Amino acid sequence: MRSPRVLSIETYVKCNATCEFCPYPTSDRIGQKLDTGIIHKIIDDIASSDVHPEFFIPSRINEPMFDHRMYAIFEYVATKLPRTPIGHFTNGTTLSKGHIERLCSTPNLGFINVSLNSHDPAEHQRLMGLSFELVIKNLKALHHVYEARNFKFPVNLTRVGDGTTRDTDFLRWCRSVFPLFHPTCRPRFDWLGKTHSMDVGRAPPGCTQWFALNFLANGREALCCIDDDGRFGTGDAHHQNALDVYNHPIRLALREKKLRSLHPACAACDASI
């Protein structure tokens, strides 16, 4: 209850995608980079707890490998949080042969999540503004290495769904082309009013995000993974202990009572995360 299940740090706000369902393209935080000393301080603060996170995730609205410090950060996590695996989120364009080799050799790699979003080149281009051919080429290379070396860490291929038959077509296509990977489709949410969501009915009363601690590249805490600019966060890693940020009375009350009504952002949120 008093230590985060997931620690997420956005180290450098840089991405090459222009996803229509993400606030990155219009963010005024593009280019922000978190000082290495603050990244270490956050990890140190969390490491001082007896209970270590289930995952460390170095991403929010960024493509992690654009930060050249990333492997050094993974090593720092391995030293300070030896029981915490890395969750690597990517749009797939940075999965070059060199990165596949290095990433798959990272001892504390927990999973790779590729935000693929579509198996249709035209839809992929429209949704993300990236080269579908490059992503598929990289995924095939990853699948080949994964099979040849009998890796066991999960590789997820995710889609932000639109509620049409394209969602199930995507799942079917992924299973046939990349049988060792795990396709999933999630409903889109509106990033607290910044994009548009789809109607998936009533959101559940609780939220897994109450058990995650998220820091932005400016050092501020974000309430959750969809609080992209931290307007609902209360803490700042520059002058607060990360565990104290996680245990802010309102955040603690959300976890203990599991009521969205306790926080104005959660009360208005329709995300099922």
Q: Which residues bind ligand SF4 (CB under 6 A)?
A: 207, 209-210, 223-224, 226, 260, 265-266, 269, 271, 273
Cβ at position 223, least distance to ligand SF4 in Å: 5
Cβ at position 48, least distance to ligand SF4 in Å: 25
Torsional class of 163: left (φ above 0), alpha (ψ -120 to 50), beta (otherwise): left
Question: 207 or 237: whose CB is closer to ligand SF4?
Answer: 207
Can you tell me the distance from the alpha carbon of 44 to that of 47, in angstroms, rounded to the nearest whole number?
A: 5
Question: 130 or 225: whose CB is closer to ligand SF4?
Answer: 225
Residue 261 half-sphere exposure toward CB, CA atoms < 13 A: 1
Strand residue runs (E) in 40-198: 55-57, 86-90, 109-115, 155-161, 182-187
Question: 19 or 271: whose CB is closer to ligand SF4?
Answer: 271
For residue 68, what are the contacts with CB-CB under 8 A and spacing of at least 6?
none
Cβ at position 224, least distance to ligand SF4 in Å: 3
Question: 51 or 267: whose CB is closer to ligand SF4?
Answer: 267
Cβ at position 233, least distance to ligand SF4 in Å: 10
Per the CB < 8 A criterion, the answer to whether 15 and 35 are in contact is no
